[in-house]
Every structure is written in structure tokens, then in C-alpha cells.
A and B are shown apart, each in its own frame.
Chain A
Amino acid sequence: MAVSDDMLTQGMQPARTGRRNVAFLIESMIVLALLMASMAVFVQIFSSAQLEGRSANRLSKAVVAATNCAETFSADPTAVPSSAQDGDLTVLCDVDVDEHEDGDLYNATITVKIEDEVLYTLHTARYLHASGGDEA
């Protein structure tokens, strides 16, 4: 059977275009599925990284706040406030005195909290000689 070129091209064109559309749709679906899966993984990674970074930042701030309180305590253990606010951090300083023969040993437990969550706890001590001149 003889078929002219015009008949062939007219018949093949819609079929070829249809196959291309189907291939494009399948490719788009696969790309979309991969995109969704990858985005789900990436969102988890970014959120966990953000949480970890935030907690690290909080810990650093808590360490600085506790060190400040410890140095205040070291300068004068009798005058350190029992509770202080440092930004959104609450610094608690619990001091107890251990009396010695010729002086007092002050022990402090410094706790840094944020909304009832304890971030950092520090113990320090300071000995005050009775004469007040020989202590470190």
C-alpha cells in the first residue's frame, strides 16, 4: 500500500506531541515527588540546626550570666542578690555560710534559669578572714 509523506506527517504529529506531553507530565510528577521528599528532609535538618543553635546561644548567655554572678559573689559574698534578672534569664544565687575559727567560708550555688528550665548551675566558694586582709 502506498502512503504519501503528507499522510505520514499529518498522522504522526499528534501522536508524537501526545507522547511528549505524557513524558513531560511523568517527568514533572517525578520531579515534584523528589522535590517534596527533599524539602521534607531539608526542613527537618534546618529546624534541628536552628534549635541546636538556639540552645547553644542560650547556654553561652547562661554561662556568662553565671560567671558575672560568681564574680560579684567573689568580690563581696555578703552583698550578692539572691535573685537577679539578666535579659530573659533568671539568675539565682543560694549562699550558705560555713563558720570557721577565724573566718567564714561562703559557698554559693548559682543557677541560671529561663522559664523554669535550668540552663546552667555553678558552685563556687569564698573564704573571708575575720580581719578581712588575708583572703585571696
Chain B
Amino acid sequence: MRRSVGGSNRSSLRPGLISLLTLVVMLSIATAAVLTIATSHAMAALSNRQANMTLEGYEAETSAQTMLALLDDELQSTSSAKAANEVKAIDKGMKSILSKACVDGVEATHKVTGNNIVCTFVTKGGRMLTTQIALLDGRTYDVVSWKLTATPQDDSSDDTLWSGPAAQE
């Protein structure tokens, strides 16, 4: 209780030491709780992202391996008389091969350059498997490259914090 200047007794709200201490402790625990829940959410999001990316990588791998098997079938079924036009014939058949080979969620395209067939398998999450296959002598092939990469996603445009002084002019 505090005595006022005028002499009358007026009670003012004065929290005690224990209340203040409790308030400080509760605020500290609340801060720790917010940080803990944010960290656990981030860990869960990171784990899910890792799981999805791994899954998509192997989806692309499955599609590419199936494509390889179907391409091998196509090469075996092609008669040696057609061998001269092998690449042209394979180029025509690649569309159906890729549509059969692709699992759900994987899109594939191909490009023929010389004796090489470059197939690209892209998943929804942005994983890209690029395979380059060289046709050797009509019935055999050689895998030149087999590269799995991650393509940048478009939804990261909002993450830009500062674009430099030129963007602000």
C-alpha cells in the first residue's frame, strides 16, 4: 500500500515478486515452446521433402529402366534389313515406348541426335533424369550418360528478399 501525497489511502495494483518471477519464467517457457514447435515442424517438413524427392528419383529411375527394356525389345525385333534406318525407326517408336515406360507422375520426352537418343524423365517435384543412349550397330546400344538432377521450382519466387538497387529504380 502506498500513501498518497494528499494523505488519503489509495491502493495501487502492485504485483508481488513471486508474480513477476512467475511471469518471467512463463514467458521464457512460452518462447522455448514456440521455438521447439517451429523446429519440429521444420524437421518434419524437411523429412517429408527428403522422402518425396527420393521417391521421385526412383520413379524416374524405374521409368528409365523400363524404357531401356522396351527399347531393347524394339531393337531385337527390328530386322537387320532395317538396320540402316534404325535410328529413324526407333525415333518413331520412342513415343509409344516412353508412354508405356513412364509410371504415374513422370513425364518423358526424347530427342534423337545422330545415333544418340537422349531421353528426359521429369517428375512433378522437379527431379529430372537424363539418359543418353548410343545405338551401335542396329541391335546393340550403349548407355553414354545417366544423370539425375533437381530442377529449380517456380514457387521460390516469393523467397526473394532483395533484388538489388536496379530493381528498385
Contact = CB atoms under 8 A, between A and B. Distances in A.
A91 interface: no
Contact-residue size bin, chain B (C-beta under 8 Å from the other chain):
35 or more
A111 B48 CA distance: 16
B37 interface: yes
Given A101-B72, A124-B61, A42 B29 contact: yes
The secondary-structure label for the interface of chain B is helix
Contacts of A135: 68, 143
Contacts, number: 120
B77 interface: yes
B128 to A, nearest CB: 16
Nearest to B26: A38
A31 B16 CA distance: 10
Interface in B2-48: 15-16, 18-19, 22, 26, 29-30, 33, 36-37, 39-41, 43-44, 46-48
Interface string B52-71: 00110011011011101110
Contacts of B109: none
Rank and list the top 10 A-B pairs by shortest CB-CB distance, nearest first. Answer: A49-B40, A56-B47, A125-B65, A52-B40, A125-B62, A105-B69, A56-B43, A56-B44, A53-B40, A59-B47
Given A52-B40, A102-B72, 7 more contacts: A31-B18, A35-B26, A38-B30, A49-B36, A105-B69, A124-B61, A134-B143
Interface of A: 16, 20, 24, 27-28, 31, 34-35, 38, 42, 45-46, 48-50, 52-53, 55-57, 59-60, 62-63, 66-67, 70, 74, 98, 100-103, 105, 107, 120, 122-127, 129, 134-136
28 contacts: A27-B16, A50-B40, A52-B40, A52-B44, A53-B44, A56-B40, A56-B44, A56-B47, A62-B51, A63-B47, A70-B58, A100-B73, A101-B72, A101-B76, A102-B76, A105-B65, A105-B69, A107-B62, A122-B58, A123-B58, A123-B59, A124-B62, A125-B65, A127-B66, A134-B72, A135-B68, A136-B68, A136-B146
